[in-house]
Amino acid sequence: MQVTLLGAGLMGRPMGRRLREAGWPLTVWNRTRAKAEQLAPHGARVVDTAADAVRDAEVVITMLEHGEAVEHVLFDLGVADALRPGALVIDMSSIKPSQAREHARRLAERGIAHLDAPVSGGTVGAEAGTLAIMAGGTAQDFERARPLFAPLGRATHVGPHGAGQLAKLANQMIVGITIGAISEALLLAARGGADMAKVREAIRGGFAESRILEVHGQRIVEQDFAKRAALSVQLKDMRNALDTAAELGIDAPITRLFEQLYASASEHGFADLDHSALFCELARRNSPLR
């Protein structure tokens, strides 16, 4: 299959590299061409416009920042018009379920298939090919995409169009809330005079164990908040979760609280750090650690 990747940012680049290493022919476009050029040494073809990137594509993967960006690239930059009927668009961005369903509908009118297949695992999972991929759409299109998913991670078909994004929102609610729980707990331990690193070590393997405690807990202990998954993106996902909850008539008070905490962190200068920098916002609200 001729494959096109639209979006070569923090996640798109390592995903594109893994596709090339698996032997897939790859054309790449990114709004900032220099980011796409980083895949050229791996054998990817880099083009200047999104429409040109997809003209011969059988499968198009989008990895963009938010739903508005996906809509702009698909329908304002000429991608949907340039795609031939029968092509498959796999949107691996994290967007609202309602947006995914609308994109699927508009593409179907042109004879183009669609999967919403957001991922979890961050840049570490993208580099290692261990992403969790949550796919919404038809079972037939999921089977068609399965060989492409293989070098990227573990894919699960979770339901019809929009279901992949619902799964991702559930994932991000758990991730965002758990980062907050670990941040507050380690801050409490440190303020009381315990060694944060030793506390984290002590509770690992018990009921508090999680991937978040393992990875983000270590970042908090080391005060390493270099961006892997931006706090601003976590905030966007929490807001998407709240919007979707409102559409479904669900009260989500815990997510609402954490949306406010991530918003405050963003306002206080932590937006472009890793989402584990929520710890910095909680520390800011208290006197400096001694």
Determine the Cα–Cα distance for residues 172 and 233; give it in Å rounded to an integer: 10
Residue 267's SS3 state is helix
Q: Residue 281: which of 269, 272, 289 has the closest Cα? A: 269
Flag the least confident range among 20-24, 147-151, 226-230: 226-230
Q: How far is CA 114 from CA 59, 149, 234, 254, 280, in A?
A: 10, 15, 25, 32, 39
Q: Taking the domains of the chain in order of start, what are their residue ranges?
A: 3-159, 166-284
Handedness of CA 215, 217, 222, 223 (dihedral sign): positive
C-alpha torsion angle, residues 163, 158, 123, 273 (rounded to 10): 40
Query: Looking at residues 233-261, what average pLDDT do you find?
Result: 97
Residue 288 has pLDDT above 70, yes or no: no
pLDDT at 287: 74
Q: Which CATH class is domain 3-159?
A: alpha beta
Tokens 């961050």 locate to 122
Q: How far is CA 223 from CA 20, 62, 202, 219, 283, in A?
A: 34, 33, 19, 6, 12
Handedness of CA 198, 204, 206, 208 (dihedral sign): positive
Residue 256 has pLDDT above 90, yes or no: yes
List pLDDT tens digits, range 184-208: 999 999 999 999 999 999 999 999 9
Average pLDDT of the chain? 97
Query: Looking at residues 121-142, what average pLDDT do you find?
Result: 97
One CATH from 1.10.1200.10, 1.10.1040.10, 1.10.3720.10, 3.20.20.70 for 166-284: 1.10.1040.10
**Catalytic residue (one of 35, 168, 198, 236):** 168
Q: Residue 86: which of 106, 114, 63 has the closest Cα? A: 114
Q: Is 96 annotated as catalytic?
A: no
Question: Which ranges in 109-224 belong to alpha helices (H)?
Answer: 122-128, 139-149, 163-191, 196-203, 211-222
List pLDDT tens digits, range 259-279: 999 999 999 999 999 999 999
Q: Are 225 and 272 in contact (CB under 8 A)?
A: no
Classify residue 245 by burial, with Cβ atoms within 10 Å: 0-12, 13-18, 19+: middle
Residue 182 makes CB contacts below 8 A (sequence gap 6+) with 212, 213, 216, 217, 220
Backbone angles phi, psi at 271, to 5 degrees: -60, -40
User: 211-222 vs 196-203: helix axis angle to the nearest 10?
Assistant: 170
Determine the Cα–Cα distance for residues 189 and 178; give it in Å rounded to an integer: 16
- pTM for the predicted model, two decimal places: 0.93
Fold match between domain 3-159 and domain 166-284? no
C-beta neighbour count of 230 within 10 angstroms: 19
Handedness of CA 123, 129, 134, 140 (dihedral sign): positive
